[in-house]
Amino acid sequence: MKTTQLSPRSKKKLMTFFRWIAMLLMVFISFGPILVVILSAFKLEKEIFTFVPQLLFKPTIENFRELVTKWPDFFKSLKNSLLITLGTSVLTLLLSIPTAYAYSRLTSKKLTRSAILLIVVRMFPPIITTIPLYPILNKIGMLDTHIVLIMIYTAFQISMSVMIFKTYIDSIPTELEEQAQIDGCSRFKAFRKIMMPLLAPGTVTALIYIILFSWNDFDFAYLMTGTATVTGPVKIAELLGIIGQGAMKWGTIFAASTIQMVPILIIIWILQGGIIEGYKIGAVKE
């Protein structure tokens, strides 16, 4: 046994080495599959299927060109996604900030109980709402419209957004607003001038989840959209559905997936503090 005994220093070095190995392995499992697809989007079809994984290759935009010329609908679907994401973001912020403010500063103990409803509805499985919504929206001719998805997404995002904003507003001392009101500002003006700038970090935190949900949602979009409003995720599913039927190439669908996911990957990288913070506040406080 004596011979295998390591000095504390080399033991620590060895530990660090294993930690790095473990970490890189996890990163490889998480990100490797995504990277393969992003890289393959820049390969020619015959290069995608040469089995020895090629890291060195001459990048080509052939797949993207094919996507643009043969599947222009895909870009229309991204535009729909963008519109719906923007609409949901604006509407959710507009509704949830005032509500959070009311819960933080105004409501009585009794009225605060109403927040339970906000939390409860968020837990309901979303797919269930589609059963009555689908025929109703169909009847009133709103099934294939942007506003419907924006409203549904907003309804499911309000709760977490309110929780995030309430927590941030709670942390801002009331004295700041009171001082402004004494100085002659109205309550609304005091809120706008004093609170809004201080809420910027909270807004970022809330926005990440709103964007992540409305840009990526498949379940609702699959059921509630038609030719006019089909979103990126549904379009990709459509393209994937016809793979191997001649007209659709893997390279093309890799290009489409890459365009859909790269913006969100960049957001995740830049705003990851907000992702962790948002979940801490909006989901799992102990």
Residues 230-269 that bind another protein (CB under 8 A): 232-234, 236-237, 240, 243, 250, 253-254, 257, 260-261, 264-265, 267-269
Q: What is the DSSP letter of 42?
A: T
Q: Stretches 6-14, 67-75, 171-179, 217-225: which one binds another protein (CB under 8 A)?
A: 217-225
**Nearest residue to 59 (alpha-carbon basis) of 69, 47, 49:** 47
Size (the chain), residues? 286
The binder of another protein chosen from 159, 203, 225, 229 (CB under 8 A): 159
Tell me how far, at minimum, the Cβ of 27 lies from another protein, in Å.
Answer: 5
Binding-residue total with another protein (CB under 8 A):
100
153 backbone dihedrals φ, ψ, rounded to 5°: -60, -40
Query: CA 15, CA 13: separation in Å to the nearest integer?
Result: 5
Which residues, numbered 6-25, are part of the site for another protein (CB under 8 A)? 19-20, 22-23
Three-class SS state of 114: coil
Q: Is 95 one of the binding residues for another protein (CB under 8 A)?
A: yes
Q: Is 116 one of the binding residues for another protein (CB under 8 A)?
A: yes
Element (H, E) at 20: helix 8-40
CB 216 within 8 A of CB 233: yes
CB atoms within 10 A of CB 134: 13
Q: Is 64 one of the binding residues for another protein (CB under 8 A)?
A: no
Which residues, numbered 138-157, are part of the site for another protein (CB under 8 A)? 151-152, 154-156
Tell me how far, at minimum, the Cβ of 216 lies from another protein, in Å.
Answer: 4
